[in-house]
Chains A and B, each alone.
Chain A
Amino acid sequence: MTDNATDPMERAEFRQLAETYGSNLAVWPSDKRAPAQRLLSDDPSARDALREAANLDALLGSVPVARPGAALRARVMADFDRVSGERASARDHQRPAGWRFWRGEKGADWVRRSLEPLGWSGPLWQPVGALAACLVIGLAAGYSGPISAETQVFASLEAVSFDLTDWSQGD
């Protein structure tokens, strides 16, 4: 056996390599290629061995390659969609009930049914958005209004207390 690329190669080793890797020297172990090339140029029996390997390669090359068709690809991607759906569903179950209610289309259906008597047939985001806007505006007005009801009550109590003071200090 040759130890490195500079040692001459024996015929038996050449045949062994041709029987293992076939006729394409490019796929032989890198340290064997140069000695194999030298033997090929010098030795007709090495060329015979390579020709035999090439014949077998040609026969193996006649075997058609199995290529995936559209139906198989569709089956594989359908599996992906199913597994992704299951995974998303499992994630949803770990979220709050309100999220699940909406994501599970139950919330959307409920809103749609509620709007049916009003004759609404447009996209749901419009009435839902309007409702949300009303809520936000109402809350904002409530917090930032000029005089709150609470302030008015305190003001009345204060006035009564002054009246009582005046009465007790009358004589």
Chain B
Amino acid sequence: MTVQARKTQSAAAPDPDGPLVLAIAGGDQRAAATLMDRHLGTVLATAQRLLVDRAEAEDVAQEVFLRVWRHAGDWAPGQAKFRTWIVRVTLNLCYDRLRKKREIYTDTLPEVVDPAQSPRDALEAGEVSKAVWAAIELLPERQRAALSLCHFEGYSNQEAADMMEISVEAIESLLARARRTLKKSLGPLNRDLFGHVTEDKAM
């Protein structure tokens, strides 16, 4: 589904995943494959933006779908949309892992690339995305989640708010803070690439 299609899809529309989930509860393998095709990409991408580590994101994606297979029989159509539920489960599993990481790294913080460091070097092929990744990694996890859902996955504010179980105003605030922080941390790179000073200025 395209980003724009997601933005314009009516919230009141019936859940397109409902019949698939019911079929999965009955052991329908084709329905399971279809549901996986629809959502595995979003689940994996969201997990990777939060956890950064690819292998860990894949483990989370597998765990999310294991929960789908196990609890498909308990699914009640008419409540939260399936995709809202599956992203919510993804976020919660990622938060759990990040919390555990924080407990491990309390004394020794992991080394991260400074996105503002040597922007000229960062212009090398592939280095720009590394620097942007590093900047995203430095964002607080909830800002990262909001940016991932709204900017990268194209969910509406309302849907992202449902997924994160917060208000629309809180989503807007997280998004604005995330982008402001990124604009600052990527300032030198931005200037080198586009020739603009991106520090805040009064309008």
Contact = CB atoms under 8 A, between A and B. Distances in A.
Contacts of B186: 56, 59
A59 B190 CA distance: 8
B136 A77 contact: no
Interface stretch (A47-55, A94-102, A116-124, A159-167): A47-55
Contacts of B58: 68, 72, 75
Interface residues of B, number: 50
Interface string B35-55: 010001100110010000010
Interface of A: 11-12, 14-16, 19-22, 26-27, 29, 45-46, 49, 51-53, 55-60, 62-68, 72-73, 75-77, 79-81, 83-84, 87-88
Contacts, number: 121
Given A68-B40, A68-B61, 11 more contacts: A20-B175, A22-B179, A27-B7, A56-B190, A56-B198, A57-B151, A59-B132, A62-B129, A67-B44, A68-B41, A79-B69
A17 to B, nearest CB: 9
Interface stretch (B25-33, B82-90, B91-99): B25-33
Contacts of B189: 59
B193 A49 contact: no
B72 to A, nearest CB: 9
B180 interface: yes
Given A12-B203, A26-B4, A73-B40, A55 B190 contact: yes
Contact of B132 (A12, A15, A51, A62): A62
